[in-house]
Structure 1
Amino acid sequence: MSSSRRVAIITGAAEGIGRGIALRLAKDGLDLGLFDLPRSQQKLEQLAEEIRKEFGVRVVNVYGDVSKEEDVKRLVDTVVQELGSLWAMIANAGISVNRVLHETSAEDLDKVINVNFKGTFFSYKYAAIQLIKQGKGGRIVGASSIAGKKGMAGQTVYSGTKFAIRGMTQSAAIDYGKYGITVNSYAPGVIDTPLMGYLDEYHTSKSGQPKGSWTKSVGLRW
């Protein structure tokens, strides 16, 4: 199936920043491939239906795990098959496990690296393969963070992965510019998302402070 509309993939699209990106790109008239974990199916289906009704664009939902290479390849293949092409990959999916370095387990280390760094890597990789094949340029965008520009207390591994995404993005931009493909990352500050609620709960349980106090202390703007 082909369309004159540009097509964008957003990973981690069911809620938070990914959901906001999906709504904005739909408003701008792009067809969308939305990707999230199977447990987010209800939220993603509701989002897709909202987008179809309000903006009249086509939406394809795909479920899987960005940390698994075969899932990301399947994501790109499915979206291209259903919507005809690819123009932009928004590698938004990410997680955080907030611990100081010496309290971070190997399991948590692997979990954050697998989702944040490997998941972004795989998203860049299969988007680049498809965009180069099409020969019409395109956009690749990844989620860094304010913690990818400056280290933050209790975020050793998270911050490390977000710094890594910046380095990968800059290198990929050099490699793919000759194909008309731009590669950029965005670095949000503290945003009111479910992830931020999880982090607030963790920090306030440790400090004994009221819920919401941690997010306010790091500059959340309601």
Structure 2
Amino acid sequence: MSGDHDRVRRSYDTVAAEYRQRLADELAGKPLDRALLAALVELAGPGAPVADLGCGPGHVTHWLAGRGVPAVGIDLSPGMVAQARRAYPGVEFREGDLLRLPAADAEFGAAVALYSVIHLAPDELRPALAEARRVLRPGAPLLVAVHLGSEVRHLDEWWGHRVDVDFHFLTAETLLGALQDAGFTIEARLERASYPHEVETRRLYVLARPCP
């Protein structure tokens, strides 16, 4: 694991309990996100397992599982995985890096990565997306969400906890280009403003599938 990934892991371990407490119910206030996740489930097909890449405390994985989906959450932070397993004991969670996913080739019928690739260094984005492609079945949809822009925001304090983590905003061209370079075809893209209860950023969602 690189030093940057270790910083991210330690930072999320530090805030894991408070993160779950504050954000476990966030999908209730995100109607567009719920609609996109529901569309992903429908596109995956009945019974298709779905990976939640960078699942945090597991609330999105739990939402997917509640729709009858065999969902698997994967996160870099052992603290987040522990929170997820404690909160949702009937759902599967695995500890793992986006660059080396703990999953078999073509294991999943769909995957979602909501604001998880934003912690990757620029030269790691394409390899991480190629790794996501590895674990997807042919034609399986991938939904990625990022903050739009070109800045890097650094936090050394988060909810009163000392952390050391960078948030890489991405332009649409950067994300779309990395997806295409990693072997994906872009099916749809959507932008939205932040909801009042969110950090004020513009968000980009991209739906893509592995090229034949």
- Normalising by structure 1, we get a TM-score of 0.48
- Normalising by structure 2, we get a TM-score of 0.50
As a proportion of its length, which structure holds more strand? 2
Largest Rg, 1 or 2 = 1
As a proportion of its length, which structure holds more helix? 1
